[in-house]
Chains A and B, each alone.
Chain A
Amino acid sequence: MPVSLLWAVDVHGRVYSLSSAGQQWELGRDAPMEFKRVTAAQQCCWSLGCDSSIYLNVFASDLPVRYKVETYENQRWNPVDGFSERLLPSDRWQWSDVTGLQHQPLHSFQLPSSSWEWEGDWYVDENFEGEPTEKEGWTYSIDFPSTYTKDKKWNSCVRRRRWIRYRRYKAMDTWAKIPSQPMSLPDPFSDISCGGWEISEEPGGRLSLWVVSLQGKVWFREGICHHNPEGSSWEEVPLPGEVVQISCGPGDLVWAVLWEGKLIVREGITRDCPRGLSWAVVECPSPEVGAIHVSVGNGVVWAVTKDNKVWFRRGVNSHNPCGSGWISMVGEMIMISVGLHDQVWAIGCEDRAVYFRQGVTSSELSGKTWRAISAPRDGERPHSSASSQQSAGRFFSGEVQAQSVVSDADSDVEKGSADGAIFTTPEPSLGSPTEPPSNPAVDAPKARIPKVTSDSFISELVSDRDQGKPSKDVLSVTPAVLEEEVIPADGEEILLCAGEALLSTESRGGPQWSNVDLEEAQTGAVLDLAETCSLSSVTTFTLTVEDGAEEHPMWAWVSGEGCSVDSSSQLNWFSSSANTTSVTQSVQSMSLSISPAQTAAWRRQIFEQLSERSRREMDDFKHYEQAIEQSVWVKKGAMQWWRDWKPHKWIDVQFAFEQFSGPDGNKDGILFIYYNYNEEKKYLHAFINEVTILVPVLNDSKHTFAIYTDERTKQRWPIRVAAATELEMYDWLALLSVSCCESRGIQGPPSKQAIWSITCKGDIFVSEPSPALEAVPYPTPCDQMFWRQVGGHLRMVECNSAGIVWGIGYDHTAWVYTGGYGGGFFQGLASSTDNIYTQTDVKSVYIYENQRWNPVSGYTSRGLPTDRYMWSNASGLRECTKTGTRPPSPHWTWISDWAVDYSVSGSTDREGWQYAADFPASFHGYKTMKDFVRRRRWARKCKLTTTGPWQEIPPIPLIDVTVLPCGAQSSVDTFPLWAISSKGDVLCRLGVSAQTPAGSSWLHVGTDQPFKSISIGAAGQVWAIARDGSAFHRGSVSPQNPAGDCWYHIPSPAKQKLKQVSVGRTSICAVDENGTNISSPSRRVVHRGFLNVPVCFGVFLAFLCPGNLWYRQGVTPSYPQGSSWDHVSNNVRKVSMGPLDQIWIIADKVQGSQSLSCGTVCHRLGVQPIEPKGQQWDYGIGGGWDHITVRGNAMEPPRIGLLSQKDTAPPTSSSPLPVGIAEPNGTAVYS
């Protein structure tokens, strides 16, 4: 861990820093004045001076802070002067920025503050795009807003060159005042906090700086980053009240304390908006006494209330920045500072010492005990201490100061302390529990109270304590508790917490320990004598000696935000070597040597005997065989893992898969991911038989796949790993898939009942349903479904329970399932040898060219600074240039060049442009006076070649297909199959049977308008959706008349356009197009949510907009059109009705514990004949799912409840309509 600094201010305003590797406080000598508060980052420290200005101290590093300023000199050619600075009136300025919009002559560049200096003078950049130019750096062009070349041509009418100058930040390692803003701030500052560096890595060194003014306003410093350490401007942040203090963590946590003692939490802090959006109010821990101070870290919040009590906030994380509840902590503090790794410092209420919270780990964020930092301060009178004291000091991890002089050190003292006494008594004496304070040693001016033991004990003491109460009482408690832990110590063997320091014999003399300078200030020293063991088995007891012998002024403020230590760091802060002194000979607070429990005889005995046991029982028998063989088979590899904690990023891990035979011979396995966390080795594991799905996520930069278990499906947070090469990734995927299937006893092709689904990458997955999947009332939870991949690439798939499966590719090619399995990257056992064919798919990649109108040159690619990229994706959030845009994954190759796409919804003009008033707005295909921006879509085709159990059905391209669902034992031999061609024609396939699933020929069914969705349910109910969004029902479809006779128009739900329909046994559901308007607020939310999800399902298809799910009411065999649409749910992209009237959908925006996921498989629970719309959703695999079909699953659930009802009696009044109505329809289905 790199050396870093802890900063503190004493009550006299002097700033000190303490290095994590050092042992003394260094005084900041060059401080221009007294400071009130400091707040540190790792690269700098901000402070608030007594003049209420802000000061900045940037630490010198190898990386200088340099900033390049540049300006362009523009010239135009004219026949008289040749190239000259005489430009046309419509031209840009002679000196301008790169866009020409800003006038910037050389002299206009000023140093931002006195902390900067110029490195040199202006010079011409003679390089152009990496190549040297010939003539003084000029680049030429025909006209200004254009591309420039370094060669002058006959038509080069204008030229420009770039001037460069560097400025350097010179105020390194010194306190530089931040110049106040011209529009100066209304009132002086009173608090300051910096943090936020983990929100984003771009730009480097970015910080958030929050300050509070005396009037209670909050200001945010804009633009702080490495090359602009001072930031650029103050922005006021609106508030719900008057703030007195604020704290900003390294991540996205910002809390502030209001004047009346409530707390407010900043919400909506993201990379794009580090200032956040709004405040949420959090009640203070105790209603009577409000909070006075708050400090936040990565995922923790500590607060201090007006009565100096310390509170820890439970359940804080960046999804829930407000946390869930307060926990009272031990200790009385005036302020707290949470640093890196959520470590905690505080300033004690009584003694004003700086305390460090020990034992804060990621699993125990609240830590264990407070321990006073007792490092001496630089600049204090150097004490001529004897070497003996050095060792003595090192032994004691606490600063022990004597108040007064004791003439001789008596061995009783040490013995007493060794017995566990806490000699801190109202009397100046030291005593053992057996011979308590009677020992008349010294006159201490202040009562000393034993304060700290293990936390629980402290609280007891602290709460018991009151001023009038003699601390003797306390004493009588302590030894009793400590008794067992303490044994007589012999000085030589006492191990200190770190187990490193030994008490030297010289130190026994005790007297030298005392510190001599006496002043009235009092300080506490904490001795931590026993290290807590990892299992918290050993009580940590820590004693505080409060004595008045402290020469130092008290501390006023501490900042650990830039101090990189953690619970495992070895710190030298707690020893007081240099300043223990023997100027006076007195002893007083003597060796408080409660023998560390580590050295207790019983423990030593156990350690020794265990070693002896190993020697006795094992050393001579090493050649014997081990009874338990370790794992049968292990495969290891180096991988990267998208780590679980923030900031999320890829880290190198060891990936290991251990496969072994279970006790009953079943193969089972465990996946291990070994990683380092804070330099500590840790691992994550998953049992193979609990893995529910493996999803390849290939993009051009990483070969990754995601591993889900049911738990991780719930959290929407898979284990994501990346292999070094594509081959390696597929090796792992194939191996793990086989193991998952083996552990679940699944092999061969998917069953006829299988549920098929498709991701937005076109990957195909199947799941074998269990009968309990549709059980009422306790179905198998959807997140426990196991999915395995099948080779091939499709956009949609439909099936029925006779095993007829059809798919449609992105290029609208129709495919029929051949009955094989595997293909793609599956080889060997995981793939069938026949029935696997080559499959190709073609899709288009779209990018947008955006332009803004300006009065001079009309529409140009020169946007406003706030505009989207001039070449972007549909949302404008990502830059996508023609050259920079690559195929979606390495499997895809370009097969065409970029071409303007005219087939955009909303129509275009002749050049493909669409116009709008401003960017995120709705575009239209003609230009009006109000339009200032325009865009057009470019498309480029790419092609994928893979293998899978699919055979092409030429020649008609399709957009939708449906096949008649049937019962498990159906007598039907040919199945009606309907489809919609890419032109919108309705087609009926003839001759489709289990033996010839591809059928024989198409029959065209006439329509008045093009259609886009179709579904056939039981008993030949055919429903379709036309392009205008209305529904149609096809009458009189029967086996004898497979194409039916006419369409009945069914109006869509009010104001909604339907887009998809699915028909089950008796139920009909449709999804509408609600929310297609990209600029609607809800749509934005989706985008933001999705972008935050680092799932690499990058392709977000515009046609998959979430809509509403509608249920068709009143459908009966005699009136198959039904009566009305009933709203079921919103947020639905697609619906699939099963042959048992099951309802499954692809839902949008499902909240997991870690993130929002879009495109999630959901199952409607509680669907029964009496309640065909069901009750609620159960969430399964996602996000990134595009399609599901459950139309093969005709497996009746175990109908315990219904059967018994049927057997015993007709339906009772409690269920007026149950089975009776379902039956006629049910039989109709299978006839």
Chain B
Amino acid sequence: MADDKDVLRDVWFGRIPTCFTLNPDEVTEREAEPYYLLLPRVSYLPLVTDKVKKHFLKVMRTEDVEEMWFEHEGTPLKWHYPIGVLFDFHASNTVLPWSITVHFKNFPDVDLLHCPTNSMVEAHFMSSIKEADALKHKSQVVNDMQKKDHKQLWMGLQNDKFDQFWAMNRKLMEYPTEEGGFRYIPFRIYQTTNDRPFIQRLFRPVSTEGNPHTLFDLLKEMCPDALTKDGEENRFQVVIHGIEPLLETPLQWLSEHLSHPDNFLHICIIPAPTD
């Protein structure tokens, strides 16, 4: 792999093998077989689970069916997080395939947002892109786009069309060379040790002295606890798209190459596995 473009492809075409099983408490007419699927890391659960729903509805009576939701080892999975983030955060060090339990009742209103249609996902996705561009370019790029350009981004994600998506997303990744990067890096840091869903603050890609900021600089400022102190064993893993980039990786590069389609860099800080 010689080219940064290949990173974009690898990120886009990341797949998580998943085994969906029906929650045993659901009332079924006969036993439900588990359903196996390769989920795109960069997509969202409602966009890719039509088949799952169809599969389980075959064994259920319609009156027993409410809104479908997913749970992994007791944790409801938030559909508005990218699938890769859900996996990295909740199931990084578990055995593959990822095991997800499918529920059709007792929707956990406290934990999850309802998602009646995919247009909810679209609205969420587009608002994320707009938010990210507000950070990166004061919204200039996204506002200059036409409606069909926005649609191209969404359709690209929805239909898993890399070229279609990136033909447009490229524009969101541009910046004036003299500034050395975006205005602020759109990122979200997810921590297990924290009650807040995630950390998101303003952070520039280049220091006031003009040096590019690295992943290390970001973590030092946002969650110093996650960093390994001298002489200490690694307590945490810093995971982006299932990999652990070196802390010296420039943040601007990460933002351009390892952001999710919503243009945010989703960073999961999870406890290091104890062997």
Q: Is A628 an interface residue (CB 8 A)?
A: yes
**Does A602 contact B4, Cβ atoms closer than 8 Å?**
no
Query: In the assembled complex, which residues on chain B have CB atoms less than 8 Å from the CB atom of A626?
Result: 15, 37-38
Could you say which residues of chain B place their CB within 8 Å of the CB of A457? 178
Question: Which residues of the partner chain B approach A746 to less than 8 Å between Cβ atoms?
Answer: none
- Determine the chain A residues whose CB is within 8 A of the CB of B136 once the complex forms: none
A1217 touches B (CB below 8 Å): no
Closest 6 CB pairs of A and B: A456-B178, A621-B17, A627-B48, A609-B243, A602-B249, A602-B246
Known pairs A628-B43, A687-B151; A606 contacts B250 (CB<8 A): no
Q: Does B49 contact A (CB under 8 A)?
A: yes
- B243 near A481 with CB under 8 A, answer no
Q: What 5 new A-B contacts, CB under 8 Å, besides A606-B7, A617-B16, A617-B96?
A: A480-B210, A606-B243, A610-B10, A624-B37, A628-B159
* Cα–Cα distance between A687 and B248 once the two chains are bound (Å): 43
Contact A601-B37, Cβ < 8 Å, known A610-B7, A627-B43 = no
Which B241-268 residues have C-beta < 8 A from chain A? Answer: 241-246, 248-250, 252-253, 256-258
Give Cα A34 to B243, complex, Å.
Answer: 63
**Which chain B residue shows the least CB distance to A537?**
B256
How distant is the Cα of A898 from the Cα of B257 in the complex, in angstroms? 69
User: Is the pair A480, B151 in contact by a Cβ cutoff of 8 Å?
Assistant: no
Q: Check if A685 sits within 8 Å of B164, measured CB to CB.
A: yes
Residue B10 contacts which of A483, A614, A664 (CB distance < 8 angstroms)?
A614
User: Which residues of chain B are within 8 angstroms of A884 by Cβ–Cβ distance?
Assistant: none
**Chain B: minimal CB distance from A1124 (Å):** 45
| Interface residues in B203-225 (C-beta closer than 8 Å to A) | 209-212, 214
Q: Do A609 and B244 touch across chains, with their CB atoms under 8 A apart?
A: yes
Say yes or no: A483-B211 contact (C-beta < 8 A), given A535-B173, A537-B4, A624-B37: yes
Are A534 and B11 closer than 8 Å at their CB atoms? Answer: no
Q: How far is the CA of A533 from the CA of B6 in the complex (A)?
A: 11
Give the residues in chain A near B18, CB-CB below 8 Å.
624
In the complex, residue of chain B having the shortest beta-carbon distance to the beta carbon of A481: B210
A901 within 8 A of B: no
- CB-defined interface of A596-625 with B at 8 Å, one 1/0 digit per residue? 001001110111011111101110110011
* A896 CB–B CB distance under 8 Å: no
* Complex-state Cα separation, A616 to B97, whole angstroms: 10
B5 within 8 A of A: yes
Partner of B248, one of A499, A602, A607: A602
A155 at the interface (CB under 8 A from B): no
Give A557 Cβ to nearest chain B Cβ, in Å: 30
Tell yes or no: A83 within 8 A of B by CB: no
- Kindly identify, within residues 44 to 77 of chain B, every residue whose CB is under 8 Å from any CB belonging to chain A: 47-49, 51
Across the interface, A631 reaches (CB within 8 A) one of B6, B159, B248, namely B159
Residue of A483, A598, A624 contacting most chain B CB atoms (<10 Å): A624
Q: Does A454 contact B (CB under 8 A)?
A: yes
Contact with A along B139-182 (1 / 0, CB 8 A): 00000000010010001001110011000001001111110100
B271 located at the interface, meaning its Cβ lies under 8 Å from any Cβ of chain A in the complex: no
- Is residue B200 within 8 Å, beta carbon to beta carbon, of the partner chain? no
Q: Is B186 an interface residue (CB 8 A)?
A: no
Say yes or no: is A484 at the interface (Cβ < 8 Å to chain B): yes
Given contacts A533-B3, A537-B4, A627-B49, contact A605 B177 (CB under 8 A): no
The reply on B1 being an interface residue by CB < 8 A is yes
B170 touches A535 (CB 8 A): yes
Q: Which chain B positions have C-beta within 8 A of A485?
A: 212, 250
CA distance A631 to B160 in the complex (A): 10
- Bound Cα distance from A456 to B177, whole angstroms: 6
Q: A533-B3, A610-B10, A617-B15 are in contact. Are A628 and B244 (CB under 8 A)?
A: no
**Is the beta-carbon distance between B246 and A613 smaller than 8 angstroms?**
no
The answer, yes or no, to whether A518 is at the interface (CB within 8 Å) is no
B1 touches A628 (CB 8 A): no
> Would A537 and B244 count as touching, CB distance under 8 A?
no
Contacts of B241 in A (CB 8 A): 610, 613
How many angstroms from the CA of A170 to the CA of B2 in the assembled complex?
Answer: 50
- Mark out the residues of chain A between 432 and 454 whose CB falls within 8 Å of any chain B CB in the assembled complex: 454
* A379 on interface, CB distance cutoff 8 Å: no
Cβ distance B263 to chain A, nearest Cβ, rounded Å: 13
- Complex alpha-carbon distance, A598 and B4, angstroms: 9
Asked whether any CB of chain A lies closer than 8 Å to the CB of B39, the reply is yes
Contacts of A460 in B (CB 8 A): 178
Query: Which DSSP category, helix, strand, loop or mixed, fits chain B's interface?
Result: mixed
Q: Which residues of A contact B17 (CB under 8 A)?
A: 617-618, 620-621, 624
Chain B residues closer than 8 Å to A539, beta-carbon distance: 177, 180
Question: A61 interface residue, CB < 8 Å from B?
Answer: no
- Complex Cα distance, B149 from A685, in Å, reads 12
What chain B residues lie within 8 Å of A624 (beta carbons)? 17-18, 36-38, 97
For the complex, is B118 an interface residue (Cβ under 8 Å from A)? yes
Instruction: Known A624-B36, A625-B51, A627-B38; judge A535-B256 contact (CB<8 A).
Output: yes
In contact, B14 and A617 (Cβ under 8 angstroms) = yes
Are B252 and A537 interface neighbours, CB within 8 A?
yes
Interface: A660 (CB within 8 A): yes
Asked if B209 and A610 sit within 8 Å, CB to CB, the answer is: no
Contact across chains for A625 and B37 when beta carbons are under 8 A apart? yes
Closest B-chain residue to A683, C-beta based? Answer: B163
B-side contacts of A606, CB under 8 Å: 7, 243, 245, 249, 257-258
For residue A332, CB closer than 8 A to chain B, the reply is no
- Whether, in the assembled complex, B82 has its beta carbon less than 8 Å from a beta carbon of chain A, the answer is no
Residue on A nearest B158 in the bound complex, by CB? A663
A607: chain B residues within 8 A (beta carbon):
1, 6-7
Q: If the complex has contacts A537-B257, A618-B17, A625-B36, are A484 and B211 also in contact, measured as CB distance less than 8 A? A: yes
19 contacts between A and B (CB under 8 A): A454-B177, A483-B211, A484-B214, A484-B248, A484-B250, A535-B173, A598-B2, A610-B1, A610-B10, A613-B241, A617-B15, A620-B17, A621-B15, A621-B96, A624-B36, A624-B37, A625-B37, A627-B40, A690-B148
B253 with A538: CB separation less than 8 A? yes
CA A728 to CA B239, docked complex, whole Å: 53
Chain A residues lying within 8 Å of B253, measured Cβ to Cβ, are: 537-538, 603
Would you list which residues of chain B between 87 and 121 have a CB under 8 Å from chain A?
A: 96-97, 117-119
The digit string for A539-574, where 1 denotes a CB below 8 A from any CB of B, is 100000000000000000000000000000000000
Contact with A along B8-39 (1 / 0, CB 8 A): 10110011111000000000000000001111
Q: A481-B210, A537-B257, A539-B177 are in contact. Are A616 and B96 (CB under 8 A)?
A: yes
Residue of A nearest to B249 (CB): A602
Chain B residues whose C-beta falls within 8 Å of the C-beta of A609 in the assembled complex: 243-245
Residue from B151, B159, B211, B244 within 8 A of A660 (CB atoms) = B159
For A456, what are the chain B residues with a Cβ–Cβ distance below 8 Å?
176-178
A617 to B239, CA, bound (A): 15
A664 to B121, CA, bound (A): 13
- Closest A residue to B96 by beta carbon equals A617
CB < 8 Å neighbour of A617 from B211, B242, B245: B242
Q: A613 contacts which chain B residues (CB < 8 A)? A: 10, 14, 241-243
Contacts A535-B4, A610-B10; A455 near B177 (Cβ below 8 A): yes
Q: Which residue among A484, A485, A499, A664 has the maximum number of chain B CB atoms within 10 Å of its CB? A: A484
Report the separation of the CA atoms of residues A454 and B252 in the bound assembly, to the nearest whole angstrom.
Answer: 16
Please state if B243 and A618 are interface contacts (CB–CB under 8 Å). no
A457 to B148, CA, bound (A): 36
Name the A residues within 8 Å of B244 (CB-CB): 609
Contact A610 B243 (CB under 8 A): yes
Once the chains bind, are A601 and B246 in contact (CB under 8 Å)? yes
CB distance from B150 to the nearest CB of A (A): 12
Docked pose: A621 CA to B97 CA in angstroms:
8
Q: Which residue of A lies closest to B163 (CB)?
A: A683
Closest CB-CB distance, B136 to chain A, in whole Å?
A: 13
State whether A484 and B242 are in contact (beta carbons under 8 Å apart), knowing that A614-B14, A618-B15, A625-B36 are contacts in the complex. Answer: no
Which residues of chain A come closer than 8 Å to B119, judged between CB atoms?
663
B7 x A534 contact (CB < 8 A): no
- Across the interface, which residues of B come within 8 angstroms of A1213, CB to CB? none
Give, as a whole number of angstroms, the nearest-CB distance from B115 to chain A: 12
Cα distance A617–B248 in the bound complex, in angstroms = 26
Q: Contacts of A616 on B, CB cut-off 8 Å?
A: 96, 242
